[in-house]
Amino acid sequence: MTTLAEINAMLREQFTDALGWIFEESPWVAAAAWAERPFASREALHRAMVRRVEDAGVARQRALLLAHPDLGTRARVSAASAGEQTGVGLDRLTAGEFATFTEWNRAYREKFGIPFLFAVKGSSKQDILAALRVRMESRVDEEFGEALRQVYRIAWFRIESAVAE
């Protein structure tokens, strides 16, 4: 685990290498947040990164959302996503559960044009599937905002696991 003091002392390239994975396949977020150093806390680091995403515009935000894998997929995913999904048992779905997740993920992508995003930490497979079913009733604009909020939660959990105060 890297300390906040170490993070604050890093050059931009080091900072981006160390934290570029916090937002899935989007090291530009860390690279842009670097300019706000020094960070007084992990929360300040998180806020700086979230601000960069919020200021990025819809096209870049959509690209960030599209960088995330479907939950319960058997496709190759980043180490961070794999660990998060393993932590809630999404790597051990029965054939029936896998088929259910595949179908709901497909329907969600068809409706919203992005993968279903959910910060899985502390949730069960059933919680995730229930949230997916509820969120299918959302409007596209509402769901885009909710997907971003979920990405921010995922980023927070990743910062908590990687950066010591």
Q: For residue 12, which amino acid is it?
A: R
Q: Are 35 and 49 in contact (CB under 8 A)?
A: no
Q: How long a stretch of residues is the chain?
A: 165
- Tally DSSP H helices, then E strands, for the chain: 9, 2
| Sign of the dihedral through C-alpha 28, 74, 118, 122 | negative
Neighbours of 159 (CB within 10 A): 18
Of 39, 67, 66, 64, residue with least CA distance to 54: 64
Active-site choice (46, 68, 125, 135) = 68
Q: Are 6 and 48 in contact (CB under 8 A)?
A: no
Q: Is 46 a catalytic residue?
A: no
Active site residues: 68
